[in-house]
Amino acid sequence: MGGSACRLIPNSKTDFHLSSFFTNLKIMLLLTIAHRGEAQECLKRIFTQPVDFHFPGVYRDEKNILLLTGEGIETTILRVSSVLTYFGNKIDQVLNMGIAGALLPSLQINQVYGIHRVYHEYHEEREFPSFLCKETHSKANCVSACRRVLDNKYAQSLKKIAPVVDRELWGIGLACDQYQIPFKSYKLISDYAGVNTNNEEIKSKASYYSKHLFDFYKNLSLTKETW
């Protein structure tokens, strides 16, 4: 990770561009999505204005922020913490959306699942703490893996922890826990993780995934009263 990409000290240029945006803001959602491909529909339809932040991948609409976290727990922690640090108490809630792999055949491809709790995997074992999502109607847990799941042995070890696997959510949970901000997560199942995972095929479906996630986002109730 390059040191210059994630300065936490605000600069005057950023302050100037954002000051009018936050003057009368009462509530703001931080939407996090790992990759631009998954976010392309939201970027085209809602979050059309890039924010002059300390690193690329931050966008806004009238009152909310979209952050592209990138892949991996460490990068996610750094980026989410940076945004939460800068915007302070303006952010009242964090929503994570994106694709994830299934570790159980009972989960359906192209189905969106709300996440109940997220775990961290280290050397194929569950590592604490875990973090509870603000999603009361879901029983699907997620494990954030340290690497991509491309073999069945690794998939079998992760299956003992949770039925859904991603690469970022635990980092979001850690950052939100530090700032005492509630978070929710919804995962669109792209494939059954393991030796048959085809990353190129998943990339080729990015437009479909982004439209599916956009439609799901539009139908969510994101008022403060629902959190």
Domain boundaries along the sequence of the chain: 3-217
Query: For the chain, how far is it from start to end, CA to CA, in angstroms?
Result: 34
pLDDT at 14: 46
Q: Residue range 14-30: average pLDDT? A: 58
Q: What is the mean pLDDT of the chain?
A: 87
Residue range 180-223, pLDDT digits in tens = 999 999 999 999 999 999 999 999 999 999 999 999 999 986 65
Specify the higher pLDDT residue, 224 or 157. Answer: 157
Q: Residue range 71-97: average pLDDT? A: 94
User: Which numeric CATH code is attached to 3-217?
Assistant: 3.40.50.1580
Cα–Cα distance for residue pair 44/194, rounded to 1 Å:
32
pLDDT at 224: 53
Specify the higher pLDDT residue, 21 or 5. Answer: 21
pLDDT at 89: 82
Quick one: three-class SS letters along 166-226?
ECCHHHHHHHHHHHCCCEEEEEEEEEECCCCCCHHHHHHCHHHHHHHHHHHHHCCCCCHHH
- Of all residues in the chain, what percent carry a pLDDT higher than 70? 84
Inform me whether the pLDDT recorded for 67 exceeds 80.
Answer: yes
Residue range 144-167, pLDDT digits in tens = 999 999 999 999 999 999 999 999
Question: How many degrees, rounded to 5, is the angle at CA 102 between CA 101 and CA 108?
Answer: 115
pLDDT at 227: 55
pLDDT at 120: 96
Dig out the tokens for 22 from the structure. 């936050």
Q: Does the predicted model carry a pTM greater than 0.95?
A: no
Residue from 81, 117, 115, 83 nearest 98 by CA = 115
pLDDT at 47: 96
Specify the higher pLDDT residue, 132 or 22. Answer: 132
SS3 label, residue 70: coil
Task: Compute how many other C-beta atoms are within 10 angstroms of the C-beta atom of residue 133.
Answer: 25
Specify the higher pLDDT residue, 91 or 8. Answer: 91
